[in-house]
């Protein structure tokens, strides 16, 4: 059974600081997804990481994937209040790539 674990589950940061959210998973998978959810809203796709060593960046967020370590990171650079949200990683599982398992999410709060 595939397990996806995110750390930390809650993160309170000051504006301007850097931090990393970790997503590790227990079974081989070659793609990993990051999503953002604002309070009371739906989910928005941030990154799709398709292969080992993949790195993608958008603004202050950078995501990477190490399939050998079964680990993805979401790095936040110089956090701003607008980044406050819950971040989810998800991994495709098994023979059918359509079966996705989500982590429990990391609730990020960026304070002035």
Residues in 15-34 at the binding interface with another protein, rule: CB under 8 A: 31, 33
Tokens (6 digits) for 78: 């110089």
Q: Determine which residue in the list 21, 90, 108, 110 makes contact with another protein, applying CB under 8 A.
A: 90
Give SS3 for 82.
helix
Q: Minimum CB separation from another protein for residue 43, in Å? A: 4
Binding mask 38-77 for another protein (x = CB under 8 A): ----xxxx--x-----------------------------
């Amino acid at each position: 059974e595939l397990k996806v674990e995110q750390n930390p589950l809650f993160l309170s940061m000051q504006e301007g600081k850097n931090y990393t959210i970790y997503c590790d998973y227990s079974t081989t998978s070659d793609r990993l997804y990051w999503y953002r959810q604002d309070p009371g809203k739906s989910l928005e796709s941030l990154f799709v990481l398709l292969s080992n060593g993949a790195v993608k960046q958008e603004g202050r967020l950078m995501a990477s994937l190490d399939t050998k370590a079964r680990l993805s990171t979401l790095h936040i650079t110089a956090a701003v209040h607008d980044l406050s949200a819950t971040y989810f990683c998800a991994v495709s599982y098994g023979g059918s790539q359509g079966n996705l398992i989500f982590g429990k999410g990391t609730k990020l709060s960026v304070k002035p």
